[in-house]
Structure 1
Amino acid sequence: MSRVVLKVTKLSKSFGKTKTLHDVSFTCNEGEVVGLVGANGAGKTTIMKSILGLISCDGEILVNDTESTFEHHNVLKDVGALIEYPSLYPFMTGREQLQLFARGENREELVNNVVEELNMSKFIDKLTKGYSLGMKQKVGVALALLNNPKLVILDEPMNGLDPKANKELRTIVENRKAKGTTFLISSHILGDLQKIADRLVIVDDGHIVKKTTMADMLNSGKHSIVLKTSDNVRAKDILSENGYKVLESNNDYVRIAVGSEYNLSVITKTLGNYDIDIIQLNHEDSDLEDSILELLTSSEK
């Protein structure tokens, strides 16, 4: 079993009379990517700031079995983070910012490696006051990865990145994960998160509503098949009469809900008994966004 790198237990936080976190508990294991998902205001950034000791909170936070608190930050020496937007000195170059925070005897090597890894050589030696949002975001991610931390916490890291840069970042996360780095990532770009996260912690209004693997989350979503038959109108009625849930139908196709495993031969035989042929069939699964929206909607009821 993988070693627990981050353990959050009964984390609670109030701002004045407003309670924003309610007994939040979860873990992150060595060499895995955990996605922290929820709507704006759900509490994701507050959780991350609490882990990093940027705000005080109630509960227990352990990083590599050592407590992380608002007063003591020593445990965070092996943690890299990007929270909200990167704060850069406008009259320094991107490289100078990285050199400022690099640690150890091989600082220049660390800087050169992360510049190459994030493909920043074209702009890294220019003043950051002229950077685009995407350039600033890349430097922010670079600062989080710079000293090869064991735990990396990224709050909306894909914000402002173009599709090419998004793919590059996913590749970096996957490569570092393979070497044992643990990631806690929040993102509204669920399509990208779906491609890299092993597990999900889903937050709504300061409560954890679900902790699950990515595979189980996707499998819990809706599965459907879209049929084009020799007689779609009759096919709809026949399938309904035989217990299938028809989600949508018209003269061009019939969409029915099925389980994650369905028996095509039974559907074919059912329609064949009425001399209806299947001309075309497509299988469709709900994506991560659909599954999470459905979960959050049901939790509000």
Structure 2
Amino acid sequence: MEETILSVKNLNKSFGNIQTLFDVNFECQKGHIIGLVGANGAGKTTIMKAILSLIRSEGQITIAGQKSTFNHHPILKKVGALVEYPGIYPYLSGRDHLKLFVDKTNDSKERIQNVINDLKLNDYIDQRAKLYSLGMKQKLGIAMALINQPDLVILDEPMNGLDPQATKDLREIILKRRDQGMTVLISSHILGELQKLAEDLIVIDHGKVIKKTTMNELLASNQHFVVIKTSDDVKAQKLLEIVGFKVVSQSPLRFVLTEENTVERLMNILMKQQITVTDFQHEDADLEESILKLIAE
């Protein structure tokens, strides 16, 4: 039986008389990476701020079996977070920030060095933070979220400002910590990155949860395509459309596969008309297409 580390029940939030969250319910299991996805303004950051007691909200939030409220939230000591922008003091070095945030234990020095090594901060960790670029500040913010080896980490757009190498490093750290039992609730508009990380998905639209699923389930329910090049693309397209294949693009020719319209059927039709297939590949819709389809529905 999997252990629930975070439970959000009937979460509602209004700013003045404008309601932004509507009965949001979901759970996060220990040792999972959970992606929170939706368009800008869907309510992802508001949900994260409510969990972290950064804003007052209605509903029930339970972390590791303890209720957490706006006025009483000792359990948040065990939660690491980076929401919106890291809070950075311009005249302190990166190392000083980590010293401020680390729990004072026998191994705190070692933990600081480990997170510096993991995130490859060595080159500038002793410089004042006011000299840092956006990406450097972001990496320092992530280091501050991870420094105390929390059971639950909440990351809002952690890839913001990171170059491709830093993004890959972050992905590897998140997966490594997940394997050690850490739970990560992560939002990102870089869906290709999320696809490589998240096992579970919570899709938000206009302040409501519209789908709770796993990455595998969502991608399996996707459309499948075949991309072909032939000796006569114009003729091939006309023929296949007549018999019911749906064309998605013309250059290259891309068709939707269904239970009825299989690769085998497509090949047979073209062979009978003496059209040679010179190139052929399978394609699956990606996470972005799946999410957009869900929101449109």
> Under a length normalisation based on structure 1, what TM-score does the superposition of the two structures give?
0.94
Partner AA of 2:66 in structure 1: T
Residue matched to 1:31: 31
Partner in structure 2 of residue 242 of structure 1: 243
The CA deviation string for residues 42-100 of structure 1, in whole angstroms up to 9 with x for no partner, is 11111001111111211111111111110112111211001100011111100001001
Q: Is the 8 A contact 1:223 1:260 kept in 2?
A: no
Residue by residue over 1:275-297, the C-alpha shift from the partner in whole angstroms, topping out at 9 and shown as x without a partner, is 22211112222221222122223
Secondary structure of the residue that 2:41 maps to in structure 1?
A: coil
Question: Equivalents in 1 of 2:213, 2:66: separation in Å?
Answer: 25
Letter in 2 for 1:211: K
Structure 1 residues 214 and 261, CA, compared in 2 at 3 Å: closer, same or farther?
A: farther
Q: Partner of 1:214 in structure 2? A: 215
- Aligned residue in 2 for 1:49: 49
Change (3 A) 1:262 1:72: farther
> What CA distance in whole angstroms lies between the structure 1 residues aligned with 2:54 and 2:7?
17
| 1:142 partner SS | helix
Aligned to 2:181: 180
- Aligned positions, number: 296
**Displacement of 1:232:** 1.8
Instruction: Name the stretch that deviates more: 236-245 or 137-146.
Output: 236-245
CA–CA distance in structure 2, aligned partners of residues 231 and 61 of structure 1 = 61
Give SS of 2:26's match. strand
The residue aligned with 1:224 is: 225
Q: Which residue pairs with 1:278 in the alignment?
A: 277
Structure 1 residue 260, shift from structure 2 partner: 8.7
The 2-side partners of 1:117 and 1:144 are apart by 13
Judging changes above 3 Å, is the alpha-carbon distance between structure 1 residues 54 and 192 closer, same or farther for their aligned structure 2 residues?
Answer: same
State the shift of 1:273 in Å. 1.8
Which has the higher mean CA deviation after the structures are superposed, 61-70 or 222-231? 222-231
Answer whether contact 1:219 1:260 (CA < 8 A) is retained.
Answer: no
Note the C-alpha offset of 1:262: 7.0
Instruction: Say which SS state the counterpart of residue 160 (structure 2) adopts.
Output: coil
Q: State the match for 1:132 in structure 2.
A: 133
- Note if contact 1:198-1:214 (Cα within 8 Å) is conserved in structure 2: yes
Where does 1:189-208 land on structure 2 (aligned, <5 Å)? 189-208=190-209
* d(CA) in 2 for partners of 1:73, 1:88: 23
Matched-pair contact (CA < 8 Å) for 1:228–1:279: yes
Find the residue that maps to 1:56 and give its secondary structure.
coil
Is residue 292 of structure 1 aligned with residue 296 of structure 2? Answer: no
| 1:255 correspondence with 2:218 | no
Equivalent residue, structure 1, for 2:267: 268
Instruction: Classify 1:71/1:132 alpha carbon distance in 2 versus 1 (closer, same or farther; 3 Å).
Output: same
1:158-177 mapped onto 2 (5 Å cutoff): 158-177=159-178
Alignment gaps of 5+ in structure 2: none
Query: Given that residues 245 and 261 in structure 2 are in contact (C-alpha distance below 8 angstroms), is that contact kept between their aligned partners in structure 1?
Result: no
Separation in 1, partners of 2:224, 2:48 = 34
Query: What is the root-mean-square deviation of aligned Cα atoms in Å?
Result: 1.6
* Cα displacement (A) at 1:169: 0.1
Matched to 1:279, the amino acid is T
- The alpha-carbon distance between structure 1 residues 9 and 276, as it changes in their structure 2 partners (threshold 3 A), is same
SS of 1:282's equivalent?
Answer: strand
Normalising by structure 2, we get a TM-score of: 0.95
Q: Secondary structure at the match of 2:210?
A: strand
Matched with 2:88 is 88
Q: Which amino acid aligns with 1:285?
A: D
Q: CA deviation digits over 1:2-26, x for unaligned, max 9?
A: 2111111111011110101000011
What corresponds to 1:77 in structure 2?
Answer: 77
Deviation at 1:261, TM superposition (A): 10
**What is the CA distance between 1:36 and its match in structure 2?**
0.7
